[in-house]
């Protein structure tokens, strides 16, 4: 019996060592994931900075990097799934060996009783399940308190990459920022010899004002979570504050209302740099993309493809369009939160209203089209996260409060074409 116990212990130690190595391998995969996310952020920023002066080589380089990122991410997901499968198998082995060791450690008279008790419990649970009754299962071997995960499974992406694609300027400690922009030039005129009326052809300028605003995110978590030995919930709460602030920025870049202490968003009437009429669309059809492209820019040229910001529902509407033969009208390349529609870059932002949604009323802003570098976000401080154990000490709660001072505005003349829904649901208009 002593030999059998030693063999079980040896196998148990070996399984635990394998599990530890797999955990170390998981940490390496997590680092790769962070690296891929960083590359994706850089690609998104490069995408947002593209304008009519961008060369074909620059566009192809960004697209090639996006494809490389996607391939690396797919490979990483496959490796993570394989590693997760191995972990699950080894954890099951550990549970089985621990159960066997429990029997071997018991006094000889109790061994048969333990085996019978386990068999009886399994039989009772099985019978209960057959009779469609609820059963209770011990957390031992199910929740694995001795082998808790060292990470927290992420949720779906919650922040639009528009935050990383706009023009970001850092003015630490500043209060405001004023950006001049060119509106246009005058035109020469005839003049008779000896005439005194000189034609004024001075360039016309405008100024975009960006004032400091204060964004705050606050949360509380239990002191017990901070003390957990494995999954770092406390760190996730702190990270959650940063994500919450970024979500607000993604909203304000588009829909900031320009009130005191607020961003001036692309869709706001206080965005003085935009004075052209909004484009109105009734639905998404085979002409929609051309309607947007040709409505953007000046009268003397068709601008190079910029960036289309839209709701995921409208992206789906583009993807589902078919011609008379059943072939797709638009070729769409998805890269997560961004991609291209017939070569035109897009970024998804859930705050945009969807033209394709029947519940969207007329006059709602649905899309913005233009180089995202035409919107400037001024950062006046770092995100400062503070922790307090005093405020709700009596309740055993720890408070976190994150603060960012920033502001934003459109900083290029007619830098964006704003698209809204129109009342009639037929062909595009406006």
22-47: per-residue pLDDT in tens? 878 877 887 888 788 778 878 877 87
- The Cα diameter of the chain in Å comes to 125
How far is Cα 333 from Cα 316, in angstroms, rounded to an integer? 12
> CA-CA distance, 84 to 352, in Å (whole number)?
37
Kindly report the average pLDDT of the chain as a whole number: 80
C-alpha span between 415 and 183 (Å, rounded):
10
Pairing of strands 204-211, 176-184: antiparallel
Residues of the chain with pLDDT > 90, as a percent, come to 32
Q: Which pLDDT value is given to residue 129?
A: 45
Residue bearing the bigger pLDDT, 199 or 251: 251
Per the model's pLDDT, the better-predicted residue between 368 and 126 turns out to be 368
* pLDDT at residue 294, rounded to an integer: 93
Tell me the domain boundaries of the chain. 2-147, 154-430
pTM over 0.85, yes/no: no
What average pLDDT does the segment 358-377 reach? 93
10 Å CB burial of residue 346 (0-12, 13-18, 19+) is buried
Cα dist. 206→118, 273, 275, 276 in Å? 80, 7, 11, 14
Query: Band of the pLDDT at 13, cuts 50, 70, 90?
Result: confident
pLDDT at 292: 95
How many CB atoms neighbour CB 380 within 10 A?
22
φ/ψ bin of 37: left (φ > 0), alpha (ψ from -120 to 50), beta (otherwise): alpha
Q: What is the mean pLDDT of residues 334-360?
A: 91
CATH of domain 154-430: 3.30.2400.10
- State the average pLDDT over residues 244-261: 92
**What number of other Cβ atoms are within 10 A of residue 167's Cβ?**
19
- What would the mean pLDDT of 49-60 be, rounded to a whole number? 78
Using CA of residue 22, residue 28, residue 30, residue 36, what is the dihedral sign?
negative
């Amino acid at each position: 019996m002593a030999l059998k116990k030693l063999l079980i212990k040896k196998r148990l130690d070996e399984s635990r060592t394998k599990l530890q190595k797999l955990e170390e391998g998981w940490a390496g995969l997590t680092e790769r994931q962070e690296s891929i996310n960083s590359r994706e952020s850089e690609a998104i920023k490069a995408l947002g900075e593209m304008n009519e002066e961008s060369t074909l080589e620059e566009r192809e380089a960004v697209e090639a990097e996006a494809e490389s990122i996607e391939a690396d991410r797919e490979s990483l997901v496959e490796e993570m799934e394989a590693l997760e499968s191995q972990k699950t198998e080894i954890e099951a082995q550990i549970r089985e060996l621990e159960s066997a060791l429990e029997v071997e450690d018991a006094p000889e008279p109790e061994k048969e009783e333990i085996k019978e008790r386990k068999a009886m419990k399994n039989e009772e649970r099985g019978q209960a399940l057959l009779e469609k009754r609820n059963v209770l299962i011990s957390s031992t071997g199910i929740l694995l308190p001795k082998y808790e995960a060292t990470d927290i499974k992420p949720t779906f992406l919650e922040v639009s990459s528009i935050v990383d694609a706009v023009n970001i300027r850092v003015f630490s400690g500043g209060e405001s920022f004023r950006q001049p922009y060119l509106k246009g030039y005058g035109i020469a005129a005839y003049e008779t010899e000896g005439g005194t009326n000189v034609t004024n052809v001075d360039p016309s300028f405008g100024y975009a004002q960006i004032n400091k605003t204060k964004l705050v995110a606050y949360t509380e978590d239990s002191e017990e979570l901070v003390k957990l030995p494995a999954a770092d919930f406390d760190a996730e709460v702190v990270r959650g504050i940063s994500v919450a602030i970024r979500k607000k920025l993604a909203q304000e870049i588009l829909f900031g209302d320009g009130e005191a202490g607020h961003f001036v968003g692309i869709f706001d009437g206080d965005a003085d740099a935009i004075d052209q009429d909004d484009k109105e669309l009734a639905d998404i059809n085979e002409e929609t993309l051309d309607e947007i492209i040709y409505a953007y820019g000046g009268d003397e040229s068709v601008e190079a493809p910029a960036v289309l910001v839209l709701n995921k529902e409208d992206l789906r509407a583009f993807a589902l369009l078919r011609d008379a033969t059943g072939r797709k009208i638009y070729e769409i390349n998805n890269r997560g939160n961004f991609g291209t529609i017939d070569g035109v870059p897009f970024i998804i932002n859930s705050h945009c209203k969807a033209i394709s949604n029947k519940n969207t009323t007329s006059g709602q802003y649905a899309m913005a089209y233009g180089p995202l570098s035409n919107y400037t976000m001024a950062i006046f401080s770092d995100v400062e996260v503070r922790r307090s154990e005093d405020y709700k000490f009596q309740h055993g709660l720890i408070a976190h409060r994150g603060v960012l001072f920033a502001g934003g505005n459109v900083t290029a003349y007619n830098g964006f074409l704003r698209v809204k829904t129109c009342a009639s649901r037929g062909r595009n208009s406006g």
